[in-house]
Amino acid sequence: MKITYIGHSGFLAEFSNCCCLFDYYEGKIPEPVKDKPLFIFVSHRHQDHFNPEIFHITGPGEIHYILSFDTRRYMKDRLELPNLHFMKAEETLTLNWNEGAGSMKVKTLRSTDCGVAFLIHTENKTIYHAGDLNWWVWPGESKQYNNNMTANFKRYTESLKDLELFAAFLPLDPRQEEWYDKGFSYILENTTTRYAFPMHFW
């Protein structure tokens, strides 16, 4: 498996029989791999996670779009695209290609900000892209706000506990100052994660 960091929260994960592009915002998109379907994921509608340039990607293989449901209002002229899927929080989608030779299961988690996080299982590997699901506590916020955020983050990530994640893409946002790594560290402490990739730098 090959993982390429593109920028901000954008990554390309290349498996042996498919590729997954997550939350493209900026930077050069790697060329689609010949004979491999490309699955394009968008966790939510925020500009730094959803760039319409993804709809101009072309390649020799099939292209599938798996988008958070909150992006739908911005998709009125593209709702007829083939292989377009919208997902709400806590849903499961199974995708098959090449007459069943390839298969992927996508689960969504509720976000503490907007949209969803993605949990993807294919080729006996599980990868997790958090989107904006993070422990968003801030030094300038009220104690009540931060306590509610803490409770929500732990509840929304409960399904990740004890999972074996081959790769996890997790926010590590310096704007949170001394709390910048709370969400990142919590996931690593409560899952078995082989490779962790920080993202969402501002």
Instruction: Quickly state the pLDDT bin for 35 (edges 50, 70, 90).
Output: confident
Q: Which residue has the tokens 């689609």?
A: 32
pLDDT digits (tens, 9 = 90+) for 91-115: 999 999 987 789 999 999 999 999 9
Q: Which of 36, 101, 96, 37 is nearest to 64 (CA)?
A: 37
pLDDT digits (tens, 9 = 90+) for 49-70: 999 999 888 877 899 999 999 9
Predicted pLDDT at 112 = 98
**Residue 124: how many CB atoms within 10 A of its CB?**
6
Predicted pLDDT at 90 = 98
Residues of the chain above pLDDT 90, percent? 79
Q: How many Å apart are CA 162 and CA 142, to the nearest integer? A: 32
pLDDT digits (tens, 9 = 90+) for 120-133: 999 999 999 999 99
Instruction: Quickly state the pLDDT bin for 79 (edges 50, 70, 90).
Output: confident
Q: What is the DSSP string of 46-97?
A: STTT--GGGGG---SS-EEEEEEGGGGGG-TTTTT-TTEEEE-TT-EEEEEE
Is residue 165 scored above 90 in pLDDT?
yes
Predicted pLDDT at 168 = 99
Residue 143 CB-density burial (10 A; 0-12 exposed, 13-18 middle, 19+ buried) = exposed
CATH architecture classification, 2-199: 4-Layer Sandwich (3.60)
Q: What is the mean pLDDT of the chain?
A: 94
Predicted pLDDT at 75 = 82
Instruction: Quickly state the pLDDT bin for 80 (edges 50, 70, 90).
Output: confident
Is residue 88 scored above 90 in pLDDT?
yes
Instruction: Quickly state the pLDDT bin for 4 (edges 50, 70, 90).
Output: very high
**Do 192 and 166 form a contact (C-beta atoms < 8 A)?**
no
Q: How many Å apart are CA 124 and CA 70, to the nearest integer? A: 30
